[in-house]
C-alpha cells in the first residue's frame, strides 16, 4: 500500500496551533508577520464556508462564537485581577495585541477632565521608542487624533431637560477606531510620522479610543504592525468589545487612584510640614501610607528652654474619619505638651481623658518623649505603644517601658514614665505598630527582625538619622509598602543625639 505523504505546502488546517482555550480552538487568525498571541489566546484559520455542508457550517459558526466568547472571558478575567492603572494598561495592551494580531503597541492615559494622572505605557517598545513616537505631531498620529477628538462626558443635566444635580448626563460621543494600513502610502500623514515609522520598523497601526459614553475620554491605545496590515471585521468586533470592558475597568481604577491621592494629601497636610531644628539633636522621619490612609501620626515640637517633644501614635480605623481623629488628637497633644511637657504621664493622661469624652468609640496608642538634647536626657511614657529602640556603636537595645493599655481602653489611664540617657552619637527610633505588623510576622519575630535590622546599620550611615531609618525600612520591608495592600501605615521617627 502506498504511503500517504504531504505534497506541497501544508494547509491551514494542518498548520501548528497554540493550546486550546476551554477545549475550543479559536478561529481568530494571526497574521504571519506578527508574533504568537498571548498565552491562552489561540489562533487558527477558519475553513472555507463554501466547502462545508450547511449543518457543518452552522456547527462551525457556533463553535467560533463560543470560542470568541471564551477568549474574551479569559482576557477579561485577567484584566479584572489588576488593581492598579499601570497594571491594567499593560494587561490591556498585551491582550489587545493578541486580538488585533500585532506585536507592539502603546497606551496613553490622559483623562479629559485634566485631573490626571497621565501616563504612557509601551508594549515591545523601549522608553526611548515612546519618546520618539511622541515627536510625531499630535494631529498626525492616530492616537493623538483620537485623544483630541474625545470629549469629556458632560456634567449631570448638561444639554438635557430638567437641569439639576440629579438630571441625566448627555453621553459623550465616542469616535471610531483609526486604522492606518500602510504608513508609507497613507494620505495626509506628516513626513515626521513616516520617518518615525521607518526608524522604529513599523508599517501600519490600529488605534482604539479608551472611552465610553458615560466616562468620557480616558485615553487611547495604538498597536503597531511590522508590515502593512489591518484587523479584519471580526477582529475589530472583538477588540471593540474588549476595549469597552477595559475602559470601564480603567475608569474604576482611576477613581480609586484619585481617592487614594486625596487621602494621602490630607494625611500629609495633617502632619508637620517640616521637622524643627534644635541644637544637640538631628531628626528624620519616614511615613508610609496604605491605600485608604490610616491614623498613624508623628510630631516633633520645640519646647521652652531648648527642650523637644517627640511623639508617635496610631488611631484605630482607616479612611477619612481616622484621619480626622488623628488630626484632632495630634493637635491636642501639642497643646498638652506645651503646658506640661516635662511630665509625659500627665500629657498622655490629659489626652486619654479628652479621647474618652469626645470619641468614646475610638481607641489610640501613643508615645510621648520629653527630650533635653543639651543634657542628652529623655523622659517618656507610652500608652499601648511599642518601646523605642536605641541604636549606637556599642549597643542596640529596646528601652524598658512598662506595659499599659491604649488610650480609651480604661476608665483612667496612668503608667510610670521612663528616663534614659543616650550616649553621644546614638539614635533613638520611635515607630508605630504598623512597622511590625507590615512584616507579616508574629510579634516576637517582628521585634527580633527590627532589632537585627537596626544592628546591621552600616557604621558609615549611623551619623545620619535619615540613613538609619532608610536602612531599617529596606531591611524589614524590602519590597516597600505595597499601596494596593490594605494594612496599617508605617511611621519611623529617628532622633540622633550629638
Q: What is the pLDDT of residue 487?
A: 65
Residue 277 within any structural domain of the chain? yes
Handedness of CA 178, 183, 185, 188 (dihedral sign): positive
Q: What is the pLDDT of residue 324?
A: 84
Residue 266 within any structural domain of the chain? no
Residue 20 within any structural domain of the chain? yes
**Average pLDDT along the chain, 498 residues, taken 10 residues at a time:** 40 37 40 45 48 67 81 94 93 96 95 90 94 89 79 44 47 80 91 94 95 86 95 93 94 88 76 90 90 80 95 85 86 93 92 87 91 95 92 94 80 80 96 90 94 95 96 91 68 96
Q: Do 27 and 82 fall within a single domain?
A: yes
Q: Do 147 and 220 fall within a single domain?
A: yes
* pLDDT digit string, tens, across residues 130-176: 999 999 998 888 888 888 864 444 444 444 444 444 445 445 577 78
Q: Do 253 and 308 fall within a single domain?
A: no
Q: Do 218 and 279 fall within a single domain?
A: no
Residue 66 within any structural domain of the chain? yes
Residue 428 within any structural domain of the chain? yes
- CA angle 403/405/411 to nearest 5° reads 135
Helix (H) or strand (E) holding 351: helix 344-358
Among 204, 227, 261, which residue terminates a domain? Answer: 261
CATH code of the domain containing 123? 3.30.450.40
Q: Do 90 and 111 fall within a single domain?
A: yes
Q: Do 250 and 386 fall within a single domain?
A: no
Q: Do 277 and 362 fall within a single domain?
A: yes
Locate 190 and state its grid cell. Answer: 506628516
Residue 460 within any structural domain of the chain? yes
- Residue ranges making up the domain that contains 144: 15-157+169-261
Q: Do 257 and 277 fall within a single domain?
A: no
CATH code of the domain containing 489? 3.60.40.10
Report the predicted TM-score, pTM, of the whole model to 2 decimal places.
Answer: 0.62
Max intra-chain CA distance, the chain: 110
Q: Do 78 and 204 fall within a single domain?
A: yes
Q: What is the pLDDT of residue 456?
A: 96
Locate 143 and state its grid cell. Answer: 492616537
C-alpha neighbours within 13 Å on the C-beta side of residue 217: 28
Q: Do 453 and 347 fall within a single domain?
A: yes
Residue 3 within any structural domain of the chain? no
Residue 164 within any structural domain of the chain? no
Q: What is the pLDDT of residue 126?
A: 94
Question: Integer distance in angstroms from the first to the last C-alpha of the chain?
Answer: 98
Our count of domains for the chain comes to 2
Q: Do 302 and 206 fall within a single domain?
A: no
Q: Do 142 and 249 fall within a single domain?
A: yes
CA distance 396 to 403: 21
Amino acid at each position: 500500500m502506498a504511503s500517504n505523504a504531504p505534497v506541497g505546502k501544508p494547509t491551514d488546517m494542518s498548520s501548528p496551533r497554540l493550546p486550546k482555550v476551554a477545549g475550543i480552538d479559536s478561529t481568530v487568525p494571526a497574521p504571519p508577520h506578527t508574533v504568537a498571541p498571548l498565552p491562552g489566546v489561540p489562533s487558527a484559520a477558519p475553513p472555507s464556508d463554501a466547502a462545508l455542508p450547511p449543518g457543518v457550517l452552522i456547527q462551525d459558526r457556533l463553535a467560533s462564537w463560543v470560542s470568541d466568547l471564551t477568549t474574551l472571558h479569559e482576557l477579561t478575567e485577567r484584566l479584572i485581577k489588576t488593581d492598579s492603572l499601570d497594571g491594567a494598561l499593560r494587561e490591556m495592551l498585551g491582550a489587545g495585541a493578541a486580538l488585533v494580531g500585532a506585536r507592539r503597541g502603546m497606551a496613553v492615559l490622559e483623562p479629559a477632565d485634566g485631573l490626571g494622572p497621565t501616563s504612557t505605557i509601551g508594549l515591545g517598545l523601549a522608553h526611548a521608542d515612546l519618546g520618539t513616537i511622541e515627536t510625531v505631531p499630535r494631529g498626525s498620529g492616530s492616537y493623538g487624533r483620537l485623544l483630541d477628538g474625545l470629549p469629556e462626558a458632560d456634567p449631570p443635566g448638561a444639554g438635557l431637560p430638567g437641569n439639576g444635580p440629579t438630571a441625566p448626563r448627555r453621553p459623550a460621543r465616542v469616535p471610531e477606531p483609526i486604522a492606518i494600513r500602510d504608513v508609507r502610502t497613507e494620505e495626509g500623514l506628516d513626513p515626521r510620522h513616516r520617518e518615525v515609522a521607518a526608524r522604529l520598523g513599523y508599517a501600519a497601526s490600529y488605534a482604539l479610543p479608551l472611552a465610553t459614553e458615560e466616562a468620557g475620554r480616558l485615553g487611547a491605545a495604538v498597536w503597531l504592525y511590522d508590515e502593512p496590515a489591518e484587523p479584519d471585521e471580526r477582529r475589530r468586533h472583538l477588540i471593540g468589545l474588549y476595549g469597552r470592558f477595559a475602559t470601564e475597568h480603567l475608569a474604576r481604577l482611576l477613581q480609586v487612584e484619585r481617592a487614594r491621592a486625596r487621602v494621602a494629601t490630607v494625611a500629609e497636610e495633617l502632619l508637620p510640614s517640616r521637622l524643627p531644628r534644635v541644637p544637640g539633636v538631628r531628626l528624620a522621619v519616614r511615613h508610609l501610607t496604605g491605600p485608604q490612609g490610616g491614623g498613624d501620626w508623628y510630631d516633633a515640637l520645640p519646647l521652652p528652654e531648648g527642650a523637644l517633644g517627640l511623639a508617635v501614635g496610631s488611631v484605630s480605623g482607616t479612611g477619612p474619619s481616622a484621619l480626622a481623629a488623628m488630626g484632632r488628637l495630634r493637635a491636642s497633644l501639642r497643646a498638652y505638651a506645651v503646658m506640661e511637657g516635662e511630665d509625659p504621664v500627665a500629657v498622655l493622661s490629659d489626652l486619654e481623658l479628652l479621647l474618652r469624652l469626645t470619641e468614646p468609640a475610638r481607641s489610640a496608642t501613643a508615645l510621648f518623649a520629653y527630650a533635653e538634647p543639651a543634657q542628652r536626657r529623655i523622659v517618656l511614657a507610652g500608652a499601648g505603644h511599642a518601646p523605642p529602640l536605641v541604636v549606637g556603636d556599642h549597643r542596640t537595645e529596646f528601652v524598658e517601658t512598662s506595659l499599659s493599655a491604649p488610650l480609651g481602653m480604661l476608665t483612667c489611664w496612668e503608667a510610670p514614665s521612663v528616663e534614659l540617657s543616650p550616649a553621644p552619637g546614638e539614635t533613638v527610633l520611635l515607630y508605630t505598630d504598623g512597622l511590625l505588623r507590615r512584616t507579616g510576622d508574629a510579634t516576637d519575630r517582628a521585634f527580633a527582625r527590627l532589632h537585627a535590622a537596626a544592628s546591621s546599620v552600616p557604621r558609615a550611615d549611623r551619623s545620619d538619622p535619615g540613613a538609619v531609618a532608610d536602612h531599617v525600612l529596606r531591611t524589614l520591608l524590602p519590597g516597600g509598602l505595597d499601596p494596593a495592600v490594605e494594612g496599617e501605615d508605617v511611621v519611623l521617627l529617628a532622633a540622633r543625639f550629638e
